[in-house]
Chain A
Amino acid sequence: MTDTSEPPAPREDRPADEPAGGGTSPPAAGPVADRAASVATTPAEAPAEAASGGRSAKAAGRERLGPPPWLAGGFLAPALVLLALLVVYPIVYTLWRSLYDADGGRLVWFDNYVTMFTDSTTFTAIKNNAIWVAVAPALITAFGLIFAVLTERIRWAAAFKVIVFMPMAISMVAAGVIFTLVYDHSPERGVLNAVAVGVHDTFAAASPYPGVRPREQGSPLKPEGKAFVTTAQVQPGQAVTLPLVAVPPAKQRELAPARAAAPAQGAITGTVWADFAPGGGKVNQIDGNEKGLPKVEIEALAGGKVAATTTSRDDGTFTLDGLAPGSYTLRLAESNFAAPYNGVTWLGPGLVTPAIIGAYVWMWAGFAMVLIGAGLAAIPRDALEAARVDGATEWQVFRRVTIPLLAPVLMVVFVTLVINVLKIFDLVYIMAPGSSVQDANVLALRMYLVSFIGERPDQGLGSAIAVVLFLLVLPAMIFNIRRFRAEQG
């Protein structure tokens, strides 16, 4: 190393004291430097040689090619120690630990693995991981490709890219919190359900008396489907009472007092009212300050057919006239009482995994877009031009030229995402509510819950899950490493 005392020539980019060029290929600073490096005895001598010409040729003859083994070992040692401590040891320890029971004292061989594959909870986790791997990477790569291709063509591409990439700047936990609110069940808080309810109510008007019903016992009305009908037959000339309950107090305060209807010749009259006064009031009697229910749709049925229809007045009274003599059943139509539409239970057992995948796609589409965008910029334009000149349509150019040329980048993005998705944890941990966490479970979360939560965590089973997760990630890792090698070789 004595020869390096002279300053390196200005055209050399490599720092003079670069330590171990040995294992990895040295960064090429240009054809001249490359040649110099390949001739030089040690990488460190290369710049000196280039700078001082003939003097180092003598040195080259004196030493053998490559560094002495002890020197290489010395330079590699810190990295090897770190790798051994931080990678190899934990893997081996996990393997060993997975063969022991919860307390770590008893060797149980493969019992943990048997438990794992016979236990339905872990099985759900494996199934969900499969869904994640099948759906999320493909979806994200597709979105990334679409965004990348589209942003190439628009004027405010940079701004658009920044916005799509922005979610990557947010941590998974924060994104999880944001999306728990987006998916919230109650339409007042969850934006998705607010939209769902808004759209629904635009097409189907909300009913005036949701949840209102007759008393469960002793009422002259009974449920029939979601409508209510009188238990007794009614003849024209009779005045009937149709008591209902469960009208919210706030609503009752806006209504007018109920009035008993007078009988009328050839018509059925009656009152439909909120039969509830604080403290009870008399059941099925209009008393106290009980309120009439306006705008309730009432039908008279004879032999299953609607003979007459009317709606109640402000004081709750109504008149069904023009009826032939005979017996009728009165029906309060279903449309009066339909429960309000409450949207979709996004984080319920059925939809929780797709919902969380949605949040994940939102986060990672930007990442895919940026990588694919970079790949897109590197595609030779002449290939596209040539295709266009040959008369290919834009779709054909995209399908037959752009995508094949992009394939390596798409593959890298896809495989990276597969690895990430296999390890998915934080989003599920934050977003799945207690009642559906089992339906959303994934291996990494299951491993955490089993190993570390509660008073009696089972790190044996947790380690077994970790080993299986490791084995699942391994092929993707090997594939990625091979690809990198192939590219560099």
Chain B
Amino acid sequence: MRAERRSMGRRRMLGVTLAAGLAISTAAACGGDDTDTGPEGGGALKGQTVTVAAIWTGTNEGAKFKKVLDAFGKRTGAKVIYTPTGDNVAAFLGSKVNGGAPPDVAFLPQQGVLVEFAKKGWIKPLPAEAQSELQKNFAKVWQDLGSHDGKTYGIYYKTGSKSTIWYRKQAFTDAGIAQPPTTWADFVKTAQTLSDSGATPIAIGAADGWVLTDWFENVYLSVAGPDKYDQLSKHEIKYTDPTVKEALRRLAEIWGKQNYLAGGPKGALQTEFPGSVPQVFGASPKAAMLPGADFVASEITSATKSKVGTDADFFPFPAAGATAPVVGAGDAAVMMKDTPGARELLKFIATTEAARIWAEQGGYISPNKSLDLAAYPDEVQRRIAKAVIDAGDDFRFDMSDLAPAAFGGTKGAGEWKILQDFLADPSDVDGTAAKLEQAAADAFK
């Protein structure tokens, strides 16, 4: 999720040629763009007001989310006031709490933020009715991700998968590849076949460090398994662990081949994520596959003429170890003030009905296992949703989002920079692991 926002921000920046435009758009995003959802029905909450804050804005996500709130307003008669938070949700909500006016309900984009808020006592444990909906509709992993110290605080309403590899169908046809690979060995072989066929197998927008951490997390989760993954997320095991080195060696099987990457490693390191999408799906494609998150689909639609489903398709990230990884992100609804409206809204958010409203509009994956996959508007989203639900308790959050930003989220530093250096020269696995450990030890102090 964080990755998604970053990439969008950067693209907007490059697209807008005038700085003034940038300033205005930022101001507009921060300024109050409050929307009222009027009370229409005559429900139990008639006359009550519920304030909601979340990251979604604009005609796409913002409008879709408002429909969900509208449905809640209709059902209960409550008046819902929605405020978009801007990119930095934690900072926005922090200032609201300090100002004594937190929203009733907020959607937190990272599990780390949820834990931090719970520790500070800024959020309230879920009411019983919402909890029973949660237990009915969500896998245990989601309940755990929304909990801290034995109390459940959050309901994950929206999720995203980073374990998808998007490919150009024509390139696979030219190379005569009928079946997308399912194991890492297959994946390496597919890359070799694509290369033999005259196509560059892979594009990487490695100028954005998070692209590389997503690769690493997928391979690591698959190689080491969910338990080790959890330990490494909390830095309970060291980055010099054999599993980390094994994951790096796997990555080197792809990164180490000059002719596997569009533009070679040097070119890849100069390409930002938005630039890597046209490298695969643009008018004069340079590569065949683009490992990335589910939102690559909307990037393909908006930035190129390729059509998802006909020209472009995806396959799940291949299994480098025992099982295929599912790494992702999620936004959790939490209660910041214990009001009847907030209780009702949380209960509603946990229902299958709430998930269906956004699912039908597209651009959304729900972790709600009771949601019928038929609700999704197309086959691609259905398959991504299925992968997330099927992963069940093996679903894992993006590890770099869980780490301190100095390690897992800073341009030109920590894991981002070290993996970029590893891409430039993947020969020194031990040295890279040592560097990761050094940086992690500094950041996790």
Contacts and interface: CB of A to CB of B under 8 A. Distances in A.
Interface string B193-209: 10111110000001111
Interface in A294-315: none
A251 B13 CA distance: 37
A246 B263 contact: no
A455 interface: yes
Given A171-B18, A433-B272, A434-B420, A456 B176 contact: no
Interface in A150-196: 171-174, 177-178, 180, 185-186
Contact of A171 (B20, B175, B192, B195): B20
Contacts of A348: 266, 269-270
B18 A216 contact: no
Nearest to A245: B196
Contacts of B90: 455
A17 B19 CA distance: 41
Contacts of B192: 216
B176 A277 contact: yes
Interface string A342-359: 100101100000000000
A345 B269 CA distance: 10
B225 interface: no
A251 B176 CA distance: 17
A185 B411 contact: no
Contacts of A246: 195-198, 259
A178 B413 CA distance: 26
Contact of B411 (A211, A430, A449): A449
Contact of B175 (A180, A186, A278, A345): A278
A247 B198 contact: yes
A453 interface: yes
A252 interface: yes
B267 interface: yes
Interface string B394-412: 0000000000111001111
B261 to A, nearest CB: 12
Interface in A423-456: 430, 432-438, 441, 449, 453-456
B3 to A, nearest CB: 12
A434 B176 contact: no
A243 to B, nearest CB: 10
B311 interface: no
Which of A245, A279, A347, A454 is packed against the most chain B CB atoms within 10 Å? A454
B358 interface: no
Contact of A248 (B199, B263, B416): B199
Contacts of B18: 171, 174
Nearest to B20: A171
Given A246-B197, A278-B173, A280-B176, 9 more contacts: A171-B18, A172-B19, A278-B197, A279-B176, A433-B269, A434-B416, A435-B209, A436-B269, A455-B90
Interface of A: 121, 171-174, 177-178, 180, 185-186, 211-213, 215-216, 245-249, 251-252, 274, 276-280, 342, 345, 347-348, 430, 432-438, 441, 449, 453-457
5 smallest A-B Cβ distances: which pairs?
A: A454-B405, A278-B176, A279-B176, A437-B412, A173-B19
